[in-house]
Amino acid sequence: MERRAKHKVVLIVWFIVFLLLGSGVWSFQAGHLMVIGFFMASLVGYMLAAFLMRCPKCRMPVLLRPRKFLGMELFTWSILTPTHCRHCGERLK
Ligand SMILES: [Zn+2]
């Protein structure tokens, strides 16, 4: 399976877990805290993945996406892995 397909599966599983957790614990006294905690854990996981997943050729993080905006170069983070490296064009598997 390609990395992008795996990434989609991870996102779908995350969303299902989020919905189940959200509907399951929201009525508890500290249910919203659990949902916030889940979000924080997800964010940490995403940041780890974002910094660890690097292009095999140029070593740039593959989720970092350079964009031109009003002549400035801005970087945004994408959630889904691109099929090619944004920096050198290397195909990512
Ligand atoms: Zn690259």
CB 92 within 8 A of CB 3: yes
Ligand 1 (single-atom ion) residues, CB below 5 Å: 55, 57-58, 85, 87-88, 90
**Residue where the block lists tokens 């996102």:** 11
Its pTM stands at: 0.67
- The C-alpha atoms of residue 73 and residue 93 are separated, in whole angstroms, by 27
pLDDT given for residue 77 in this prediction? 83
Res. 81 pLDDT band, cuts 50 70 90: confident
Instruction: Give the DSSP per-residue string, 42-83.
Output: HHHHHHHHHHH-B-TTT--BTTEEEEEETTEEEEEE-SSPPS
7-28 confidence digits (pLDDT tens): 889 889 999 998 888 888 877 8
61: CA distance to ligand 1 center in Å? 8
